Structure 1
């Protein structure tokens, strides 16, 4: 009996992985990029992952996106040059502690992690949301009782749902994937009832892949996102970056960047700008 269950479980994930390859295609290979550095400026190694519209590759294979534009401007203001380092998201803390990167920057939620790092930010807000297929009768978070939800592993959404009973949700299960493409494929194929993650990332994935998922109106959480440095990093750089990000929010620079990617960025700056 146990071998049969194990065989079926393995076949389930194999089917998801095969379909995901067919569904998403080969894509463009990510190549390491060092922004053209001015010799006079010190370099900061910024750890990130591909997560459109925050970070993705243009037709030439260069890093672009909301976080890339904000990082370039903020570091320029304080006299540094960013070097963008593509990393395995699940190894981010190891890379940071080993000194392979100086900071983590990719729509990184601060809530619940305030004491894990030394932070610069928040530079904008993000909503953790639930998305479902359009035809299912799931309208509210309370409708997720006994339902199975897929998430990206080691993310804020995973943590929130693994604490679902404490948050008043009685889920049927949480599937965690290291590859977020598998998360979306699981929902598309009906292997799970819902997915959870950053709203902007879900909406961009839907747009890029012509998917018609429906996002529930009530978020799991609304939180600020920031730039995470090691708690042992005592450099003035961190405080200077924090100030630069606040200045950008208040002088309209961050809003101007967001408008290049999002139709109405006002919700993303609520509580971040001085006058909000």
Structure 2
């Protein structure tokens, strides 16, 4: 009988130890001074923030910022393309240190540890240039597509009355696919980030236009695992330094023709 009680006690102890060692806590501040890498998770189909350039290499405004931050922190930058709807799993597993790719803070404030917003953005509707759709009311009966798990999708959840007027409401894996569908006439409108939409209009062959009425306004930030204040603080301080010495303005001007960043100078 004593052996049976001993066996049960050992089993309970083993389960307790396993649970304690496997649980991911939000108190982990990642202040390890021996850290040598900086793994950035991004959507590789999200120009101009992060995408595959004509040379086959990863490029983009956000990736340029991340590269500069990594160099100043003396860390090896690892650019890790991820599926956008799997970003939380990538972060929680430790496969990436942060999500940095036109990542909207608004509506996610309590889900991640954030830097300050470094850029402002709107969620908008994009239509073909020759479309008869000129305002949101004209979307009634039309086919609208949005990227899965995107800020535009979240904004539309807050505008259910509008969604109910759509003829069909679809999701796409990425905005390149959505805009291809728009170009071909398979859909009538795409709900997406204005910064990305304007980049496509300016740089790509597709002839699109953006409706004047926006869905929502928001800010882009760098998102870390909840509780990872150590690494967040280092990145935040470095972004402030870059704002102060003009590097943010320089990189922004290279991509957008002007400084559209919002990080406050020290």
What is the aligned counterpart of 2:181 among 161, 186, 191?
A: 186
Aligned residue in 1 for 2:239: 245
How many Å separate the matches in 1 of 2:159 and 2:128? 21
Alignment of 1:191-206 (within 5 A): 191-206=186-201
RMSD after superposition: 2.5
Q: Give the alignment's TM-score, normalised by structure 1.
A: 0.75
What is the aligned counterpart of 1:257 among 232, 251, 261?
A: 251
SS in 2 for 1:128: strand
2:167 is equivalent to residue 159 of structure 1 = no
What is the aligned counterpart of 2:75 among 60, 64, 80?
A: 80
2:37 is equivalent to residue 43 of structure 1 = yes
SS in 1 for 2:101: strand
What is the aligned counterpart of 2:130 among 132, 135, 139?
A: 135
Task: Rate the CA distance shift 1:116–1:41 in 2: closer, same or farther, 3 A.
Answer: closer
The C-alpha deviation readout for 1:17-59, integer Å capped at 9, x for no partner, is xxxxxxxxxxxxxxxxxxxxxxx97111111121221122344
Task: Rate the CA distance shift 1:166–1:272 in 2: closer, same or farther, 3 A.
Answer: farther
- For structure 1, the residue ranges without an aligned partner over 5 or more in a row are 1-39
Structure with bigger gyration radius:
2
The C-alpha deviation readout for 1:110-133, integer Å capped at 9, x for no partner, is 100011101123121222211112
What is the aligned counterpart of 2:208 among 191, 210, 213?
A: 213
Aligned residue in 2 for 1:54: 49
The C-alpha deviation readout for 1:67-114, integer Å capped at 9, x for no partner, is 111111123333333211112222111111111111111111110001
Q: Give the alignment's TM-score, normalised by structure 2.
A: 0.77
